[in-house]
């Protein structure tokens, strides 16, 4: 109990510190005027683009699943996205395998292995966008500053090529440690994860193609959504700057930090990315705060009906989805 309280206090402190640091640099009067004059048409367009991101995510995970169809996969992803926004250390990620098990009979360990693959692909796309955007915006043509990003991209390529091997190795090592300290339940869970990673790459070529295509589509749709949000507040960036700033914002928000969801971390990464892309600091902070509030509202608006739909499905529908695949 004491450790949970300490973690909660630390998470609140991190989020508050980051937000306070950003807001201390903000012209509050000017920011409030810009919020009042935001163009609703661009925000409406951003909501449609956010919905398209959710649909693509549902298609992606349905294509990787054994039993979950598009409806169940999309509803589970919608719930997961919202939980990721409000839980520390991205613990909301674990809701997707659990929801797919409950409502479609998916194996939790296999879903977790696939989720790790999806996140690696997403991260590779983001890092590639950072490298490309930085290269296009570089004034002196030097690639020296891109070396760390290119190194990270090569590392991600290696991790993708061997992801089942290192997942299996990490699960085996963790399972052995859990056995030594006598945590039997954790040991069994890690053993199942090791078995799932040992089963080999059972994804069909079509599933791999869908994974790559939807991951790229998700990134493009997210960048378009960011562009619409920026335009709502009178900010316009070239494609290279938009890709660079948005990719850094996504990468920073994806880091598992002991904060209250993405509060503070998303704003800080948004500001860092778009200032790097050439946006004035005040504009970056104004749009960062707005993007946090608006996209959180989108996530909640999608998650609530998705969760209610999952809970209200009839036993027959759940049993049909959980039936063994033929």
What is the model's pLDDT at position 280?
92
Q: What is the pLDDT of residues 280-325, one digit of tens each?
A: 999 999 999 999 999 999 999 999 999 999 988 755 556 555 554 4
Q: Which pLDDT score is estimated for 224?
A: 96
When pLDDT is cut at 50, 70 and 90, the band that residue 263 belongs to is confident
R_g of the chain computed on alpha carbons: 21
DSSP symbols for 235-250: ----HHHHHHHHHHHH
Average pLDDT over residues 192-203: 70
DSSP classification of residue 280: -
pLDDT score recorded for residue 326: 37
At 275 the pLDDT is 93
* Distance (Å, whole) CA 173 – CA 177: 6
- In terms of pLDDT, which residue wins out, 254 or 278? 278
Using a pLDDT cut of 70, give the percent of the chain over it: 87
Of 71-75, 140-144, 176-180, 256-260, where does mean pLDDT reach its minimum?
A: 140-144
- For 57-86, what is each residue's pLDDT tens digit? 999 999 999 889 999 999 999 999 999 988
Q: Residue 143 — very low, low, confident or very high, per pLDDT cuts 50/70/90?
A: very low
Tokens of 110: 């296999």
Residue 87 tokens read as 């839980």
Could you please report the per-residue DSSP string of 123-152? HHHHHHHHHHHHHHH-SS---GGGHHHHHH
Whole-angstrom distance, CA of residue 305 vs CA of residue 311: 10
């Amino acid at each position: 109990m004491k450790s949970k309280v300490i973690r909660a206090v630390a998470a609140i402190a991190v989020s508050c510190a980051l937000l306070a640091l950003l807001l201390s640099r903000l012209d509050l009067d000017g920011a409030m005027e810009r919020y009042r004059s935001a163009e609703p048409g661009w925000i409406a367009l951003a909501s449609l683009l956010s919905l398209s991101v959710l649909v693509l995510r549902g298609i992606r995970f349905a294509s990787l699943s054994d039993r979950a169809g598009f409806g169940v996969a999309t509803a589970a992803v919608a719930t997961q996205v919202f939980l990721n926004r409000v839980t520390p250390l991205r613990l909301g990620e674990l809701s997707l395998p659990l929801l797919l098990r409950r409502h479609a009979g998916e194996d939790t360990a296999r879903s977790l292995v696939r989720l790790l693959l999806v996140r690696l692909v997403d991260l590779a796309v983001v890092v590639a966008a950072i490298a490309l955007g930085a290269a296009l915006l570089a004034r002196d043509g030097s690639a020296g500053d891109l070396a760390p990003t290119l190194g990270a991209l090569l590392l991600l390529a290696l991790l993708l090529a061997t992801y089942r091997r290192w997942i299996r190795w990490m699960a085996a090592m963790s399972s052995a440690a859990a056995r030594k300290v006598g945590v039997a339940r954790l040991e069994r869970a890690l053993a199942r994860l090791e078995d799932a990673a040992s089963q080999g790459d059972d994804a069909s070529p079509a599933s791999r193609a869908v994974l790559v295509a939807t991951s790229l589509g998700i990134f493009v749709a997210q960048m378009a959504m960011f562009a619409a949000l920026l335009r709502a507040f009178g900010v316009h960036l070239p494609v290279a700057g938009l890709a660079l700033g948005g990719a850094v914002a996504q990468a920073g928000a994806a880091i598992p930090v002991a904060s209250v969801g993405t509060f503070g971390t998303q704003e800080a990464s948004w500001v860092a990315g778009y200032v790097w892309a050439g946006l004035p600091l005040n504009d970056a902070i104004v749009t960062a705060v707005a993007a946090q509030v608006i996209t959180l509202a989108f996530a909640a608006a999608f998650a609530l009906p998705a969760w209610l739909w999952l809970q209200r499905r009839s036993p027959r529908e759940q049993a049909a989805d959980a039936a063994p695949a033929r």
